[in-house]
Structure 1
Amino acid sequence: MFNGFSAVPGAIVPYAYDWLLVGLSYLISVAGAYVGLRWSRRIRDKNGSIDIDRLICASVALGGGAVWSMHFIGMAAYRTPVRLEFDLFMTLVSLLVVMVFAAGGLAIASLTTGNRMANIAKGGVLTGLGVAVMHYTGMAAVHTNSAFDWNISIIALSAVIAVVVSMVALWLATTVKTRGQQLGAALVMGVAVCGMHYTGMTAGTMICTGQSYSPSLFAIEGGNIGYAVFALAGTILMIILLIEATRSTSSSRATASGAVR
């Protein structure tokens, strides 16, 4: 695939995408968005108090599933002739960052006081910044014999896309109610999140800094790591979705029982 490349300092590292992993990155983003939208329903009660369980599950699904898992699988799809590994600490930090910012954005967007669209916009800015920070923290986790030469204009564009995508996502999270609407919204969100990620990927050009590098003690690597993340994230999302379905069924039965009485 990369015939003729020589890992000498100053050489531009070519890349190609594993399109199967690109497809899986989209699927996990859609799955995370759908589960997140399911949990975002009734995230606040009639008194305006937030349901912590729903907030946590929604932020895990949206931040950890729709965004972070998509990002990591997308990074695994990024094939180069040089060996890549991912610093474990920085990778975990990027996951924590996006979930915390997603939780903050949901909490603000779902406020029952003030102007609804203004709340969504504020929450979207917060969440979008979290998505951008997550993306470039995840990029900083890449450890190899090369360094990224960044295009600031494309970084700024990807950050704007992240904010716009987050605003749309939070509007959908606080608006769509039926399963059909949520599925349609999740399909759109998957396209948007992937668009932000792959735009951000074009911001960096890998420049070779040496013929080899010293592997990190705590790092993630392996040709199948993208598939492993997809399987793990998919399992977690399925569990969260089943919990939501069970909880919703119990709530509906309780409501029906109360109406009969």
Structure 2
Amino acid sequence: MFVGFEPVAGALVPFAYDWPMVGLSFLISVCGAYVGLRWSRRVRQPDGRLDIDRLLCASVALGGGAVWSMHFIGMVAYQTPTHREFGLFTTLASLLVVMVLAGAGLAVASRPRGSRTANVVQGGVLTGLGVVAMHYTGMAAIRSNTRFDWDLAIIGLSVVIAVVVSVVALWLAITVKTGGKQLAAALVMGVAVCGMHYTGMSAGTMICTSPTYAPSLFAIEGDSIGYAVFGLSLITLLVILVVEATRTGAAAMARTRDIA
């Protein structure tokens, strides 16, 4: 695929996308968005208090599934002739920051007081900044005999996309209630999240810094790491979805008994 490339300092590193892996990144983003939308439906209790269980599960599904898993698999899909690893602690930090800020954004967007539009915009900005922090923290986690030369204009564009995507996502999370509309919204969110990620990826040009790379401690690597993240994320989302469906069904039965 990369015939003729010589890993010498200063050389531009060619890249190509593994399109099946790109497809998996989109699929996990849609799955995470759908599960997150289901958990977000009643993140506020009737008295206006946060339902912490729903908030946590929505944060895991939206931040961890729809955004972070998509991002990580998308980075794996970015193929280069140079050896790459992902720093463990930096990668985990990128996961934590997006889940925390996704939850914070959802809490702000769903506030029962004030203007709904203002709340959604404020929550979207907060979540969008979390997505940006996650993306570039995740990029910083790459360990290789290369460095990135960044295009600040494209970085700025990716920030704008992240904030707009987050505002739209939170608006859908607190307004879309039916299953069919949630699925349609999840597809839209999947396209939007992938658009932000691959725009952000295009902001960096890889430059070779040395002929070889010495592996580091506490790093994630392997030919199957993208598939492993996809599988673990999908299992987590399925468990969260089953719990949500069971909880919703039990609540519906309780309401039926009360009416009877």
What TM-score results when the alignment is normalised by the length of structure 2? Answer: 1.00
Q: Percent identity?
A: 68
Counterpart of 1:248 in structure 2 is 248
Cα RMSD for the two superposed structures: 0.4
Counterpart of 1:139 in structure 2 is 139
The code of the aligned residue for 1:45 comes to Q
Aligned length in residues: 260
Counterpart of 2:10 in structure 1 is 10
The code of the aligned residue for 1:154 comes to I
What per-residue deviation string (whole Å, max 9, x for no partner) do you get for residues 118-144 of structure 1?
A: 000000000000000000000000000
Counterpart of 1:232 in structure 2 is 232
Counterpart of 2:42 in structure 1 is 42
Structure 2 residue 185 is matched with structure 1 residue 182: no
3-state SS in 2 of match to 1:66: helix
Counterpart of 2:197 in structure 1 is 197
Gaps of 5+ in 1: none
3-state SS in 2 of match to 1:174: helix
Structure 2 residue 122 is matched with structure 1 residue 122: yes
Counterpart of 1:168 in structure 2 is 168
What TM-score results when the alignment is normalised by the length of structure 1? Answer: 0.99
- Cα deviation for residue 96 of structure 1 reads 0.0
Distance (Å, rounded) in 2 between the aligned partners of 1:28 and 1:175 = 22
The code of the aligned residue for 1:146 comes to T
Structure 2 residue 82 is matched with structure 1 residue 79: no
3-state SS in 1 of match to 2:207: strand
The code of the aligned residue for 1:235 comes to I
3-state SS in 2 of match to 1:215: coil
Distance (Å, rounded) in 2 between the aligned partners of 1:65 and 1:216 = 27
Distance (Å, rounded) in 2 between the aligned partners of 1:221 and 1:35 = 28
3-state SS in 1 of match to 2:205: strand
The code of the aligned residue for 1:158 comes to S
- Cα deviation for residue 47 of structure 1 reads 1.1
- Cα deviation for residue 45 of structure 1 reads 1.1
Distance (Å, rounded) in 2 between the aligned partners of 1:217 and 1:45 = 46
Distance (Å, rounded) in 2 between the aligned partners of 1:58 and 1:218 = 29
Counterpart of 1:109 in structure 2 is 109
- Cα deviation for residue 258 of structure 1 reads 0.3
3-state SS in 1 of match to 2:175: coil
Distance (Å, rounded) in 2 between the aligned partners of 1:222 and 1:43 = 38
The code of the aligned residue for 1:189 comes to M
Counterpart of 2:150 in structure 1 is 150
Contact 2:83–2:213 (CA under 8 A) maintained in structure 1: no
Distance (Å, rounded) in 1 between the aligned partners of 2:96 and 2:42 = 24
What per-residue deviation string (whole Å, max 9, x for no partner) do you get for residues 200-222 of structure 1?
A: 00000000000012211100001
Structure 2 residue 53 is matched with structure 1 residue 53: yes
Distance (Å, rounded) in 1 between the aligned partners of 2:155 and 2:94 = 17
What per-residue deviation string (whole Å, max 9, x for no partner) do you get for residues 59-112 of structure 1?
A: 000000000000000011010000010000000000000000000000000000
Gaps of 5+ in 2: none
The code of the aligned residue for 2:17 comes to Y
